[in-house]
């Protein structure tokens, strides 16, 4: 019945689309007869009205017919499907290939030895998928090897968790650590923190996974191909040796595997030893003995994998701008998946393909954007944003001088609720666009109305995390960025159950959430590509920096540390933001088309575009120099209370204390202040004299 209703719904939507299309074509013809070409508003409305859930569902169905892990033949077929789609729309299409180091599993086993002599081999494959072509659960770039030891529960594997274990008299050295995902740490951080305390191997599980699903993932640190750090991994280009220290430091020093929550429960229910802290027991969603271990059972752990060179494929469609072809608006989504990838990432891929279809429709109606639009389909994101990072590194100069914005969608639809993340100059534009898109779950409401009602106001997250393809654009190249999601979490993340069936039964049965995300994404790009004056407003950025400084002042209260450099620089940015808003208003009201006015618009747009680059520091973050953004970026310690000013957060998290630490914090404050000041001067378009 569900599928019958769904098909009926698609049919109605399809006929509505055809009706609207012919009406629009009719009025377009009338407009041309009266020598008045369609306006931007006409094209924006056409973009919205040409949405169909049927096409989105069709794209997703095709993309998820087979698992398509990066570097495999099915992954190549998916790349060719995207390329063929772009070409069928007569879009300028090309593919860029990179030869990179990927990681795949060969053999894995986890055998439990009980005190009574019985033995149990844990099932590591997901039920029903042993011969489906789905890669067995593993951690990419985990070293091969074996371990034999008593299991011990490490909770999230955070610093405070190890302190709690020590307080309870638990010595984790030589143990096999059982750790649950979460707590703000990446997989790499969990494994490395365990290794630093003498843990022999790590078994990682995710609570609430769907029907015995197992969460795959990478445990490599950093972004991009480990053999070409800082430059594009082109074929026949420079490659470091795999045993080079720069390469080896990217990989964990101990072995790890993901297991299902069901398998974790078998181990946790067998543990003896001290009682778990109450807070741990209260938050656990799986059955346990309530004890920490170690033992008394023993675990025999074996993992053998292979790291090998593979070719990955980025696919692009380019719509050349008519007036400013050297200014780029980029829309990106990764295409590779651990398994079938219906949510992650191909809900986003389907949206990208539909945006291409709708832009091609606008082009047939006579539209050509002012600025160039580039649709980007990335490969090997799951291994560490490899496809996008290699491309950014190879094109760093042009991206830095010509990119207006990067708009990312990874998991377009995970469930209910709109969850955008942006750099703050997008806040007003994003809010305005959500008023133009219908909410998929509330009839008669716009997305803006439902979003603000659910959050009691506008709630936009920021982009300090390193969890999708916006990271190389923002953290390395300083390109203003957006990341859009519908839904927050989903129980089939990185499992074999992330399939088309799960989407139509749970995630988005009628594909209306797909329609909503596609509408916001496509309209954002249209505004950025079409508006004569870029719709950036840096006042929210200055306000956000003021809020960060207030939080920081409370955290540093009582220390001999001054935040005045950041306060003064932020005031300078706020003044520049007000000044550019005034100039933008004047130029919007000025309808002149002479070269002088066009040059003034171009100059102001450059100021608005380049201001974000000012937040970059050439030396990068201490210990992680590839990451250069001083406002948003990863912290060295995932447990830090700050998710902004990463350089300052890293200095605070160091345990040295005293005057030496205060000096390090003060230095990072000055570095951050100088970055804000650079952004302010870029926004004003002035040299410091």
Q: Which of 398, 355, 320 is nearest to 525 (CA)?
A: 355
Give the tokens for residue 333: 């989504």
- Which active-site residues does the annotation give? 381
- Neighbouring CB atoms inside 10 A of 660's CB total 10
Q: Which of 513, 427, 478, 379 is nearest to 679 (CA)?
A: 478
The dihedral formed by the CA atoms of 281, 285, 286 and 292, expressed in degrees to the nearest 10: -20
Q: Which of 147, 226, 157, 231 is nearest to 187 (CA)?
A: 157
Give the tokens for residue 408: 């990312």
Spell out the residues 6+ positions from residue 48 whose beta carbon is closer than 8 angstroms to its own. 436, 437, 519, 523
d(CA 653, CA 87): 51
Cβ(383)–Cβ(101) under 8 Å? no
Backbone angles phi, psi at 461, to 5 degrees: -80, 170
Q: What would the 3-class secondary structure string for 523-585 be?
A: HHHHHHHHCCCCCCCCHHHHHHHHHHHHHHHHHCCCCCCCCHHHHHHHHHHHHHHHHHHHHHH
The phi-psi region of residue 45 (left if phi > 0; otherwise alpha if psi is between -120 and 50; otherwise beta) is alpha
Give the tokens for residue 279: 């807070």
**In a 10 Å sphere around its CB, with 0-12 CB exposed, 13-18 middle and 19+ buried, how is residue 473 labelled?**
buried
Locate tokens 């109605």: which residue?
12
């Amino acid at each position: 019945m569900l599928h019958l209703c769904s098909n009926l719904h698609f049919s109605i939507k399809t006929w509505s689309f055809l009706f609207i299309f012919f009406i629009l074509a009719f009025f377009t013809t009338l407009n041309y007869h009266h020598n008045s070409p369609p306006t931007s508003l006409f094209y924006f409305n056409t973009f919205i009205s040409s949405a169909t859930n049927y096409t989105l569902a069709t794209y997703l169905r095709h993309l998820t017919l087979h698992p398509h892990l990066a570097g495999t033949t099915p992954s190549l077929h998916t790349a060719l499907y995207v390329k063929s789609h772009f070409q069928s729309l007569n879009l300028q299409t090309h593919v860029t290939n990179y030869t990179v180091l990927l990681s795949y599993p060969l053999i894995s086993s986890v055998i439990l030895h009980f005190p009574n002599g019985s033995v149990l081999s844990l099932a590591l494959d997901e039920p029903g998928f042993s011969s489906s072509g789905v890669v067995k659960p593993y951690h990419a770039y985990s070293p091969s090897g074996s371990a034999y030891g008593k299991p011990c529960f490490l909770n999230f594997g955070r610093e405070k968790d190890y302190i709690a274990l020590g307080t309870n008299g638990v010595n984790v050295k030589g143990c096999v650590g059982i750790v649950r995902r979460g707590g703000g740490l990446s997989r790499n951080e969990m494994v490395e923190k365990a290794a630093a305390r003498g843990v022999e191997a790590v078994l990682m599980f995710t609570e609430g996974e769907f029907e015995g699903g197992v969460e795959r993932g990478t445990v490599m640190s950093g972004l991009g191909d480990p053999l070409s750090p800082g430059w594009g991994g082109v074929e026949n280009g420079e490659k470091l040796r795999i045993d080079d220290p720069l390469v080896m430091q990217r990989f964990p020093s101990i072995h790890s595997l993901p297991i299902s929550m069901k398998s974790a429960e078998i181990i946790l229910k067998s543990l003896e030893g001290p009682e778990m802290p109450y807070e741990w027991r209260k938050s656990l969603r799986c059955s346990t003995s309530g004890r920490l271990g170690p033992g008394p059972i023993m675990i025999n752990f074996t993992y053998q994998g292979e790291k090998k060179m593979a070719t990955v494929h980025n696919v692009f469609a380019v719509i050349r701008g008519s007036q400013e072809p050297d200014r780029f608006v980029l829309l990106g989504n990764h295409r590779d998946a651990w398994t079938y990838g219906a949510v992650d990432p191909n809900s986003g891929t389907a949206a990208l393909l539909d945006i291409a279809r709708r832009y091609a429709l606008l082009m047939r109606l006579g539209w050509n954007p002012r600025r160039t639009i580039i649709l980007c389909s990335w490969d090997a994101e799951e291994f560490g944003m490899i496809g996008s990072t290699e491309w950014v590194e190879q094109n760093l100069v042009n991206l830095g001088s010509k990119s207006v914005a990067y708009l990312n969608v990874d998991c377009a639809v995970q469930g209910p609720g709109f969850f955008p993340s942006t750099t703050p100059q997008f806040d007003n534009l994003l809010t305005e666009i959500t008023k133009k898109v219908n909410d998929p779950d509330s009839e008669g409401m716009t997305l803006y109305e439902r979003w603000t009602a659910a959050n009691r106001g506008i709630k936009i997250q920021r982009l300090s995390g390193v969890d999708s393809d916006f990271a190389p654009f923002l953290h390395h190249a300083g390109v203003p960025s957006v990341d859009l999601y519908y839904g927050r979490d989903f129980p089939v993340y990185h499992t074999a159950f992330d399939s088309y069936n799960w989407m139509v039964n749970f995630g988005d049965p009628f594909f209306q959430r797909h329609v909503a995300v596609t509408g916001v994404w496509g309209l954002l790009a249209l505004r950025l590509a079409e508006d004569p004056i870029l719709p950036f407003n840096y006042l929210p950025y200055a306000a956000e920096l003021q809020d960060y400084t207030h939080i920081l002042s409370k955290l540093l209260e009582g220390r001999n540390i001054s935040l005045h450099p950041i306060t003064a620089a932020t005031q300078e940015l706020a003044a520049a933001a007000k000044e550019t808003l005034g100039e933008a208003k004047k130029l919007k009201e000025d309808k002149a088309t002479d070269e002088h006015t066009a040059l003034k618009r171009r100059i102001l747009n450059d100021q608005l575009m380049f201001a974000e680059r000012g937040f970059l520091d050439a030396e990068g973050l201490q210990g992680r120099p590839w990451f250069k953004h001083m406002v948003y970026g990863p912290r060295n310690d995932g447990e830090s209370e700050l998710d902004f000013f990463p350089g300052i957060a890293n200095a605070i998290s160091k345990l040295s204390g005293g005057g030496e630490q205060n000096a390090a914090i003060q230095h990072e404050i000055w570095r951050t202040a100088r970055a804000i000041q650079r952004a302010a001067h870029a926004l004003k378009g002035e040299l410091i004299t």
